[in-house]
Amino acid sequence: MPGSNRRGFLGWMGKIGVTAVGAVAGVAAMSKSAEAANWNCCTLALPNKFCGRNSSAQYVCPSGYSMKTWTCCSGTAPWQRRYACGECTKGANCNAGPFICSAGWTVNANGC
């Protein structure tokens, strides 16, 4: 094609790629589902709103909510860690809201 070259085509494709990534990131940022964010390997509904703690430093839920927990493993051997994850919810399990706060702590710092 006259006036066209590979560099021009790649530059054009790069601009489209950046625009597409930006659009996807914008849509993801608007999402508020449990899959929307991560704390270590946990997918927490509210990763920036951790629950309060009692005098024993244990996470506590406000009245009417209960803590639903699970674990996950992050890293590759020999630097793996197991984390405990939690959500204070009125739902039947850790995937069901409404959520009010989240929690996370290290269970095993030396492996999974």
Residues 20 and 61 in one domain: no
How far apart are the C-alpha atoms of 44 and 68, rounded to whole Å? 11
Q: Give the H or E element holding residue 4.
A: none
- pLDDT tens for the 112 residues of the chain, in order: 455 443 444 454 444 444 443 333 333 333 334 444 578 999 999 999 999 999 999 999 999 999 999 999 999 888 899 999 999 999 999 899 999 999 999 999 999 8
Question: What does the pLDDT read at residue 39?
Answer: 87
Quote the pLDDT of residue 78.
85
103 shares its domain with 76: yes
Number of independent structural domains in the chain: 2
Are 84 and 71 members of one domain?
Answer: yes
| Single-letter amino acid code for the residue at 10 | L
Domain of 76 in residue numbering reads as: 33-108
Q: Which two tokens stand for residue 86?
A: 């939690």
Statement to judge: residues 4 and 38 lie in one domain: no
- DSSP assignment of 56-87, as one string? TS-B-PPTT-EEEEEEEEES-TTS-EEEEEEE
46 shares its domain with 14: no
Residues 90 and 49 in one domain: yes
- Indicate whether 22 and 37 sit together in one domain: no
Are 44 and 60 found together in one domain?
yes
Quick one: 63 and 46 in the same domain?
A: yes
Residues 6+ positions from 17 with CB-CB distance below 8 Å: none
pTM: 0.64
